[in-house]
Chains A and B, each alone.
Chain A
Amino acid sequence: MELLRGEGRARPVSKALWTAGYYAGVVAICVPFVFVFFWMAMGALKTQVQNTAYPPLWVFRPTFENFRKVFIANHFWTFIQNSVIVSGGATGVALLLGLPAAHAIARYRQRGVALGILVARMAPHLSYVVPFFILFQKLGWIDTYLCMILSHLVITLPIVVWIMIGAFEDVPLELEEAARIDGCSRWRVFTRISLPVCRTALATAVILSFIFSWNNFIFALILTGPERRTLPVAVFNFITSDEIDWGGLSAAATLITLPILLLILLVQRHIVRGLTAGGLKE
């Protein structure tokens, strides 16, 4: 590998310089991606006057007033609760339906099901909004958890199934056969062998499914009223008023981002595979 680097014969001093230069490049690449989140946090800790100062303030006394306001005046606890219930519910249902399906697709070559899931993955959400809106209105389910969880299955089910197909295919066949010979039913092989072996992929699937449901805006926009509104719509409503409350908006954006950051830190090692599940297999 030394040869590839082209610096194998360099002297120590210039090598140190090279390394320093390389790290500077890495930092330069990362700065734009981090900056937006940094600016979000800064905005959340500034007062309205500080937020509208020009040139922008870099040093100031942080205030937590925005967060307090978001919770008290904007009822954020309700929206957080709604988001957790909808995303958790949609992920849970997706696991119940998707795990057996993924196992069957991986082991019993159920191509038709896989194709259906791929179609659901590709379909633009805008082709769902009108039918869902009319249907749920007719059923009187608008602004309920039920219609939100059902519509979010469009997002969560393909994620769970695609990630888990790859994982189940990687379980050594010998392992499952050994269990079968010892008298395990197929169902027990699934629950006691395959699932525990795939727990890393399972964690990735759960977290990605939760995040993408958590992030979804369009279904909540048309299917919820004030009762069951989820966080993305609540955050969006900050700009519909006449004067934009920059601090409150930034605080709300920070609150919706923090859980994602924590979840990502848990699985960052495995997530690249998860994001491209179904694509990166040879």
Chain B
Amino acid sequence: MVNRTELQTGSPTAVSAPRAPRPGVFFERHFGHLMPLPAALCISLLIIFPLAFNLYMSLQTWFVSSATPPRYVGLQNFAEIFGKDARFWNSMWITAEFTVISVLLELVLGLLIAVYLHRDFAGRGIVRTVMLLPMVSTPVAVALIWVIMFNPSLGILNYLLSLVGMKPLLWLGHPRTALPSLIFMDIWKWTPFMVLILHAGLQSLPFTPFEAALIDGASRWQLFRYVTLPLLRPTVAVALIFRTMDSLKTFDTIYVMTEGGPNNATEVLNIYVFETGFKYFHIGYASALAVILIIFVFAVNLLLIRVRERSWSY
């Protein structure tokens, strides 16, 4: 009888209760809190330390190369950034332009390709691997290959343009075409991500709504517009959030391909922070920019997540 109640409560501490408490008992009792503790400590260090450092340093003026220690200047860095730093506003604008244009184009292209691939055909595994490659390949490496392809005098892209009778472009070399070229490369690298997510979303859609619409005589376009798209909305929201999150983090490819140039035409906020910190060694100013970057990125992400929770899901 005793054994049976122990089985029912299912608690091993009940079995070992008569014995002296072992060291494992404490661990067992507080298991739920102890298990995530190392990671929680590590994560808080990794988050809190840089944040605190940036906040503290943003109120100082300090050149890492100089012998003078940091000097407290209050909000002067921020006043300067918002008040008279045209380069900062330029970088904000370019960040917005880069992110909005590339993410939206990737979404549209990704949706088209995902719908096209949404049927049974031989070789799906191969297509999936092909789609995975651009997004998991090393950004620096593929960006350099794009630099070779973008080369105005010898590159393959201008050669392809000449084949269809178009004039060669300067690509990364001209302020007008540099940002579009970077967006072009970003679309190449990240459209597959949209394709894979949306494709997975399409495959998990329930069949009954389609059946009902077909019985009601819906055309293929009506099916897509009024059944597929609304059902796909949560997946689209997730894809948008993930892409925006990563797009705002883009640094490697831009740094490698243009370093923000020519004429700061491709200088996103990330590049500006880096240049301020590691080219001019103006640590206080760079930290103030980093604080703005953090707030900006989190505001955008929270907004997207909120929109998704409010109106984009069911």
Contact = CB atoms under 8 A, between A and B. Distances in A.
A276 B32 contact: no
Interface string A196-240: 000000000000100110110110001000000001110110110
A116 B201 CA distance: 27
Interface string B93-119: 000000000000000000001001101
Contact of B252 (A184, A217, A261, A271): A217
B121 A26 contact: yes
B144 interface: yes
B222 interface: no
Contact of B43 (A23, A124, A157, A276): A157
A255 to B, nearest CB: 9
B36 A121 contact: no
Interface string B142-184: 1011111100011010010000000000000000000000000
B145 A116 contact: no
B210 interface: yes
Interface stretch (A65-73, A74-82, A262-270): A262-270
Contact of B133 (A33, A124, A212, A233): A33
B131 A33 contact: yes
Contact of B125 (A6, A261, A269): A269
A30 B127 contact: yes
A215 B287 contact: no
Contacts of A56: 154, 156, 159
A122 B223 CA distance: 36
Contacts of B249: 124-126
A33 B144 contact: no
A257 B141 contact: yes
Contact of B50 (A33, A131, A264): A131
Task: Name the prevailing secondary structure of the A interface residues.
Answer: helix
B138 A214 contact: yes
Contact of A215 (B39, B113, B138, B148): B138
B148 A250 contact: yes
Given A36-B188, A134-B283, A218-B251, A107 B132 contact: no
Given A100-B39, A124-B297, A157-B42, A36 B274 contact: no
A236 B31 contact: no
Contacts of A161: 39
Given A184-B12, A272-B200, A33 B188 contact: yes
B273 A116 contact: no
A1 to B, nearest CB: 8
A260 B47 CA distance: 29
Contact of A264 (B15, B27, B132, B251): B132
A265 B129 contact: yes
Contact of A253 (B142, B153, B154, B252): B142
Interface in A34-68: 34, 36-37, 39-40, 43, 52-56
Could you say which of A4, A33, A233 has the most chain B C-beta atoms within 10 Å of its C-beta?
Answer: A33
Nearest to A23: B121
Given A100-B36, A186-B31, A217 B139 contact: yes
Interface residues of B, number: 101
Contacts of B44: 116
Contact of B35 (A53, A104, A231, A273): A104
B59 interface: no
A98 B36 CA distance: 8
Contacts of B131: 33
B294 interface: yes
A277 to B, nearest CB: 10
A246 interface: yes
B241 interface: yes
Could you say which of B28, B32, B128, B297 has the most chain A C-beta atoms within 10 Å of its C-beta?
Answer: B32
Given A33-B130, A222-B278, A236 B40 contact: no
A112 B40 contact: yes
B142 A272 contact: no
A127 B242 contact: no
B53 interface: yes
B50 A132 contact: yes
B133 A264 contact: yes
Contact of B28 (A3, A25, A112, A185): A185
A122 B188 contact: no
30 contacts: A30-B127, A36-B134, A36-B146, A39-B156, A97-B38, A108-B31, A116-B43, A117-B39, A123-B47, A126-B273, A126-B293, A129-B274, A129-B277, A131-B54, A133-B278, A134-B53, A153-B46, A154-B46, A180-B11, A180-B12, A181-B10, A185-B12, A185-B28, A186-B31, A217-B252, A231-B138, A253-B142, A257-B138, A275-B196, A276-B197
The 7 A-B pairs of least Cβ separation, nearest first, read A108-B32, A101-B39, A104-B35, A131-B53, A253-B141, A101-B36, A131-B50
